[in-house]
Amino acid sequence: MAPTKPLVVEHTVDRTPEYEKFIDELRLFHEKRGTHFEQEPKMGTLSVDLLKLFNYIVEHGGYDKVSDEKLMWRKMCEGLGLMRHNAPADAYTLKQIFYKNLAAYEIKTVHKKEPPPPEILEFTTAKGGGLLTRTLDNFIAKGKNEREESEDGTPSRERPVADTPSSARASRGLREAPAPRVIFHPDTNSSRQSRHASGTQQAGTPSTSHSQPHSQPQSHSHSHNNTPASVHPLSHPPPSRGGASHMYNPPGPEMGNPFVQGYQAQPPIQVPLRIVDTPASNPELFARKQRLLRQPQVVAPNAGTIIRHCIPPGTLDGPNIYERCLLALRSGIRAEQAFGAHHLLKISFERGDKYKFSQFCGLAEGLTEFALGVGNMFYEVDWVVSYDPDFDSEEIGQLDGINGTPDILERIARLKRKDVQDNLLTEAFRDHLTLILETTQTIRNMVIMPDNAYFMSEYPPVKDLLCVLLHLPDLDVVVELKHFALEIAEQIIQYLILDSDDPLYKSLLEQLKSTDRGVIVTALRALNRIAFVHPTETNRLGKVPPSVLESLMNWLLLNDEDLLDMSTDFLYQYTAVVDNLDTMLKSINMEHLVAHLVRLLSHGAKRSTREIVVSEARVAYDAEPPSEQVVPTPKDLLDRLLAYEEPERCFAWIRCFFEEDPGANITQLAIWQAYNTAFLDPLKRKGRTMINAPEFIRNITSVYEAAGAHIVHEQGPGGQSQQKYLIRGIRARPYPISPEGRGYFQCQWTRMPGHAIKCGAWNLTAEKMWEHIVADHLREVRGEDGKFKNRSGTYACEWDGCRTHRQPKQLQLTQFMTHLKTHLVAEEIRHASRVVDPTPGGGSVAGTPGGSIPPSSPSKQQQQQQRFKSRVVKPAKTITITLEETASSRDERAPNAPPSAAGIPLSAVLILRNIARNVVKTESEQELIRKQRELRQQSASNGDDTTQEVEGWNERLFRPVHQRLWEVFTENRLLAPYLSSLFQLIEAERRDFAVRGSD
C-alpha cells in the first residue's frame, strides 16, 4: 500500500503578542545595524511569519546546519507550508529571506557572537553555510593585511601561497592571471669595471634593462600573495655567470664599500603602453572593417584611382531602432511612416514593460501629433500642437500643447465635414487610416503600464487627441479607433482631476448615448475611475444629462453582467453627492429605481434550505415516571459482584441496575441505600469494607457521562426552602442485567392461589427459572441420580395468565414440566431483546438463552424492536430556514477572515444606503414636506378631520419594498450588516418626523 501523502500545512501570519514582541526586537536590531528590514516578506502571494521561520530553522540546527544538508531548504518550505509549484525557487527564496532578515540576528542571539558587517552579510546574496566562519572576529583576522593595504578597505579573497605559478593558478579550480615575470636582459658592459664605475653604478639609478616592464604598473600592492616574502616582485634577477652582480656583498666588513652599503633601490620607471585592438577585445571594429571591405569599389571622378574607404568609419551606424522609428514617423514620407508605425506597434506589444515614454524623448509628442492627423481625413482642419507659452491663437486648428485646449469641443462643432463613405474608400485613405490606427494602438499598449499612463496624463495634448477621436463621425471605419481612445482614457483618467466642464468628461458622457455596448461599458469604466481613484470635491460626476440617468435605470433591467456591474458602480459614486441625488429626484422615477435595486440584491443568488436544531433528540420512556425503588439483586448476580473489588464492584452494580435517561433523576440517598442494602451484610460476613458514600457518588459520573450530582432547592412544609441532592441523567432499570449485558426475567408464579402476589424471583435463563419453579413451588426433590422422579400427581399451573392448567389436574410430572416450558420459552423470548451492551452508550449484543430448554432464537430485527418497545425516541426540534447566498470575496490581507459581500448585490445595497442617507438633505425633500403641510392645512381648513401624516422621500421610496428588504436581511448573511445600517437610516427619519409631528 502506498504511503499516504502528508497533509499540507497552511502558512499564515499569527499576530500574537509574542509575534509583535519579536518583530519589534528584530526591527530595533536592524535599525542599529543600518540594514533594511522587511516585516512580512512575500513568497508569491503568501506572507512569511518571521517568528515561525526563525524558530523552525533554529529548531533544525540553524542556518549553517540547514545549508550544509542537501535539499534541506526544500524540507523547510514543506514544513512551514510555503511550498508552491517551483521547489528550487521556493527553497532559494526562503533561504534569501532568512539570510537578509534573520541570519545576523541568529549569530547575535543564538550563538552569542558578533555578526560581520552588512557589507559581507546582508548586502550580498545568500551563499552556503559557514555563517559562524564569517563573524567579525575571524573576518578581521583574515582580512587585516588586505584592508591595511587596499584603499577602500574591502577584503579580498584569500589565496594560498604556492611554490610554483601552476599551483597558484590551480587554486579553487579557477583561472587566474599568471604570475608576474621578470624579463632577463644581459649586461652588455665590460665584465671588468673600474671600482669607481662599479660604485657609481651601484649607488646610482639601476639601468633600464633591469627595470620591471609596464605590464605590472601596480603589482607592488597586489601581488604579494603569490610571491615569497624574502623576494620582492620587482627585484632584479640573479646575474649570469661571469657578469657583474648587484647583490654581491663582501664576506667581511673590512672588505665592504660604503657606497654599496648605502645603496637604495629606486622605483621602476613606468613606461606608458597603448592598448592594441584585437578581434577579441574589439570585435565591432573588425566587423565594421569587414563590411567596408565588402562595399563596392568607387572610382574617383577624373582619376583612375580606386577609393575603397570613401565613407568615414562609424557614419553608417545610425540611430537605434526606437529613434529610427520615431524619426520615420515624423519624416512625412509615407513609406518611412509605415515602417515606423509598424515597428513601434510591435515594440509596444512585445516590450511593453520596458518601453517607457520617459526614456525616449519626443516619443509621446510624435505619436500624439501623428494621431491628430486623423482630423484632416474627415474634417477640413489640420490639427497642430503649439508649445508657445503665450499661446492665444484664434485659429481653429491650433492646439495649446502646454495647458491644453479648453474649447476643443466648440472647435470640433464648428468643423466642416468631408464627404467620406464607409463603402467607398481610396487606397491612400485606407493606408493613412491604418497608420493612425497603429499609432493609436501603440499609445494604448503603452499606457497600460502605470508609468506610461502617468506620463501621458501630464501631457495635455493627449486629452485634446481623445476628444478629437471620440467626436469622429459615426462611421464603421472609425469604430476601432474610438475603442482605442476609450481604453486610453480609461488608463490615464485615474491620474486626472476632471470637473464637470472638462471636455474629456463631457466627451465620455456623450459616449453613454451610443448604441454600441462595448463603447458604453468602456466609457462607464473610465467614468467610474474618476471617483474611485480621486474621491475629491472636484470629481463629483456632476451635470449628467437626464437621458443618461434614464438609460442607466433601463440598463439595470438587462441580463448583462458587465453592463450591470458598470452601471451600479457609476450609480454608487453618483448618489454619494447630495446635489446629484437631487437631480435624480427631478429627472427620473426614483420609486422604480429603488425597486430595481432591491431586485438586484438577489442577483445571482443561490437559495438553499437548512434545518437548525432547537433541541436535541433524546430517549424518553412510555412507562410511568422513574421510581426511587431499585430492584433486588439476584443471588447469582450478588455472588459475582462480591468477587469484585472497589471501585469495579460499584461500576458493575451501577451498569447492571441503572441506565441513562437525560430527563430522569434519582435521589442520592435512594441509590446509596440500595447499594448499602445489597452489599453491607455480605461484606461484613466476609470481613471486607465497603466504599464510602461520597466516593460512591463520584463513581456514578465515571460510568455515565450524562450523570452528575446536583442540588435542587425545593419549598418544604411551612414555606421553608430545602435542599434536595439528586443524581441526574440516570434511572433505575425495570429489570437487572448481567455484567455481560443479558437481562434477567422475573418469576410470574403466584405464591397463593387466587391472589395477585407473585414470586418475583429473578433468573437469567429459562433453565434456572424451570429449576426454581420445580424445586421451590412444586416442592419436587431430586433423586440420588440427580433427576426428578416422574410421578403422577395433581398439578395446577399458577403462572400468571395461564389458562390451560389453571385448575388442578391429574398429570404426570413430565407432562406438567413440558407445559411449564411453554411459559418459560415465551418469557425468555420476550426478554431476549433485553440483551444490551453493558458499556455506557453501547449497542445490543446478540445472545441466546442457555440451558437444557432450547427456545427458538428471535431475529435480530425482532430483538431490536422488542428492546426499544418500552422506550420512546423524542425527535429533535428543528426549524427550517431559507438561506440566500450571493457573490462573496475574501480579503487578501486577512485570508483567514470570513468572506464578505461582493459584486452587484453589494453595489445595489450601497446605492440604497446612499439614497437613504442623502435624500433627507436634498431640496426635493424640503419641497415635498412643504407641499404635504400645505395640503394638510388646506384639508383642516375645509373641515376634513382625517389627518394626513407628513412623510419624506425615505418613507415614500422604501415603504413598498420594506418587506422584501427584511426578507433579504433574514436570508442573506453577507448583506445583513449593510441592510441593518439601511434600516437605521430609515428609522431615524421616522423618529424625526414623529418628533416634528408631536411639536
Eight-state DSSP code of residue 397 = T
Record the cell numbers describing residue 440, joined without a space. 493609436
| Lowest-confidence pick of 12-16, 277-281, 811-815 | 811-815
377 closest CA partner among 315, 323, 421: 421
d(CA 517, CA 486) in angstroms, rounded, equals 13
* Residue 711 φ then ψ, to 5°: -120, 125
Identify the pLDDT of residue 309: 45
d(CA 587, CA 920) in angstroms, rounded, equals 17
Three-class secondary structure assignment of 485-511? HHHHHHHHHHHCCCCCCCHHHHHHHHH
Asked if 988 and 916 touch (Cβ cutoff 8 Å), the reply is no
Provide the pLDDT confidence category of residue 602 given band limits of 50, 70 and 90: very high
Provide the pLDDT confidence category of residue 311 given band limits of 50, 70 and 90: low
d(CA 807, CA 811) in angstroms, rounded, equals 12
**Burial group, residue 244, by CB count within 10 angstroms (0-12, 13-18, 19+):** middle
Residue 66 has pLDDT above 60, yes or no: yes
Going along the chain from its start, the domains and CATH numbers come out as 17-149 (1.10.150.60), 321-496 (no CATH), 633-714+722-732 (1.10.10.10), 745-871 (no CATH)
CA distances from 769 to 177, 766, 786 (A): 112, 5, 17
Query: 750: which strand partners?
Result: 758
Alpha-helical (H) ranges within 81-150 are 87-101, 103-109, 136-142, 144-149
d(CA 459, CA 448) in angstroms, rounded, equals 16
Residue 598 has pLDDT above 90, yes or no: yes
Name the residue with higher pLDDT: 967 or 795: 967
| Lowest-confidence pick of 85-99, 286-300, 959-973, 983-997 | 286-300
d(CA 781, CA 959) in angstroms, rounded, equals 95
* Residue 844 φ then ψ, to 5°: -75, 150
193 closest CA partner among 207, 183, 208, 182: 207
The pTM of the full predicted model, rounded to 2 decimals, is: 0.51
d(CA 509, CA 551) in angstroms, rounded, equals 12
Helix axes 668-685, 635-642, angle to 10 degrees: 80
d(CA 250, CA 252) in angstroms, rounded, equals 6
Name the residue with higher pLDDT: 185 or 528: 528
Provide the pLDDT confidence category of residue 187 given band limits of 50, 70 and 90: low
Q: What dihedral angle (degrees, nearest 10) is formed by the CA atoms of 58, 64, 67, 73?
A: 10
Record the cell numbers describing residue 975, joined without a space. 448583506
- What 3-state DSSP class applies to 215? coil
- Kindly write down the DSSP assignment for every residue of 848-916, as one continuous string: ---SSS-PPPPPHHHHHHHHTTTEEEEPPEEEEEEEEE--EE--TT-TTSPPEE-HHHHHHHHHHHHHH
Residue 207 has pLDDT above 60, yes or no: no
d(CA 717, CA 724) in angstroms, rounded, equals 14
Identify the pLDDT of residue 620: 57
Give the dihedral sign, CA 983/986/992/994: negative
Average the pLDDT over 721-738 and give the result: 81
Record the cell numbers describing residue 365, joined without a space. 509628442
Residue 584 has pLDDT above 90, yes or no: yes
d(CA 592, CA 550) in angstroms, rounded, equals 11
d(CA 230, CA 233) in angstroms, rounded, equals 10
Record the cell numbers describing residue 138, joined without a space. 575571524
Residue 830 has pLDDT above 70, yes or no: no
833 closest CA partner among 853, 847, 818, 815: 847
Average the pLDDT over 375-380 and give the result: 92
Euclidean distance between the first and the last CA atom of the chain, given in angstroms as a whole number: 84
Read off the pLDDT of residues 403-425 as tens digits, 9 standing for 90 and up.
Answer: 889 999 999 999 999 989 888 88
Read off the pLDDT of residues 455-511 as tens digits, 9 standing for 90 and up.
Answer: 999 999 999 999 999 999 999 999 999 999 999 999 999 888 888 899 999 999 999
Three-class secondary structure assignment of 605-646? CEEEEEEEEEECCEEEECCCCCCCCCCCCCHHHHHHHHCCCC
Record the cell numbers describing residue 142, joined without a space. 583574515
d(CA 877, CA 688) in angstroms, rounded, equals 51
Residue 303 has pLDDT above 80, yes or no: no
Mean pLDDT of the chain: 76
d(CA 651, CA 672) in angstroms, rounded, equals 13
Identify the pLDDT of residue 87: 82
- What 3-state DSSP class applies to 836? strand
d(CA 158, CA 134) in angstroms, rounded, equals 13
Read off the pLDDT of residues 859-910 as tens digits, 9 standing for 90 and up.
Answer: 444 444 444 444 555 677 788 888 999 999 988 888 888 899 999 999 999 9
**Residue position matching grid coordinates 540611430:** 319
Residue 966 has pLDDT above 90, yes or no: yes
Name the residue with higher pLDDT: 812 or 523: 523
Provide the pLDDT confidence category of residue 694 given band limits of 50, 70 and 90: confident
Provide the pLDDT confidence category of residue 831 given band limits of 50, 70 and 90: low
Provide the pLDDT confidence category of residue 231 given band limits of 50, 70 and 90: very low
Containing H/E element for 722?
Answer: strand 721-732
905 closest CA partner among 447, 654, 556, 499: 556
Average the pLDDT over 745-750 and give the result: 78
Asked if 908 and 565 touch (Cβ cutoff 8 Å), the reply is no
Read off the pLDDT of residues 527-575 as tens digits, 9 standing for 90 and up.
Answer: 988 866 554 555 678 889 999 999 999 999 999 999 999 999 999 999 9
Record the cell numbers describing residue 476, joined without a space. 464603421
Asked if 82 and 56 touch (Cβ cutoff 8 Å), the reply is no
Q: What dihedral angle (degrees, nearest 10) is formed by the CA atoms of 511, 515, 520, 521?
A: -170
Three-class secondary structure assignment of 457-479? HCCCHHHHHHHHHHCCCCCHHHH
| Lowest-confidence pick of 175-184, 405-414, 666-675 | 175-184
Identify the pLDDT of residue 625: 58
Strands 398-400 and 384-386, how do they pair?
Answer: parallel
User: In degrees, to the nearest 5, what angle opens at C-alpha 832 toward C-alphas 829 and 838?
Assistant: 170
Q: How large is the greatest C-alpha to C-alpha distance in the chain, in angstroms?
A: 172
Give the dihedral sign, CA 482/484/488/491: positive
495 closest CA partner among 438, 456, 449: 456
d(CA 718, CA 716) in angstroms, rounded, equals 6
% of the chain exceeding 70 in pLDDT: 74
Contacts of 828 (CB under 8 A, 6+ apart): 745, 765, 766, 849, 855
Asked if 724 and 667 touch (Cβ cutoff 8 Å), the reply is yes
Question: What is the identity of the amino acid at 333?
Answer: I
Identify the pLDDT of residue 191: 46
d(CA 371, CA 468) in angstroms, rounded, equals 10
Question: What is the identity of the amino acid at 93?
Answer: T
Provide the pLDDT confidence category of residue 32 given band limits of 50, 70 and 90: confident
Average the pLDDT over 435-455 and give the result: 94
Average the pLDDT over 327-334 and give the result: 90
Residue 594 has pLDDT above 80, yes or no: yes
Highest mean pLDDT among 67-76, 320-329, 464-473: 464-473
Read off the pLDDT of residues 109-152 as tens digits, 9 standing for 90 and up.
Answer: 888 888 888 877 887 777 666 777 766 555 554 444 444 433 33
661 closest CA partner among 609, 624, 611: 624
Strands 762-763 and 384-386, how do they pair?
Answer: unpaired
d(CA 65, CA 50) in angstroms, rounded, equals 19
**Residue position matching grid coordinates 620587482:** 234
- Can the peptide bond before residue 647 be classed as cis, meaning omega within 30 degrees of 0? yes
Record the cell numbers describing residue 756, joined without a space. 395477585
Identify the pLDDT of residue 849: 33
Asked if 909 and 979 touch (Cβ cutoff 8 Å), the reply is yes
Residue 921 has pLDDT above 80, yes or no: yes
CA atoms within 13 A on the CB side of 257: 16
Q: In 3-state terms, the chain is what percent helix, strand and coil (to 5)? A: 50, 10, 40
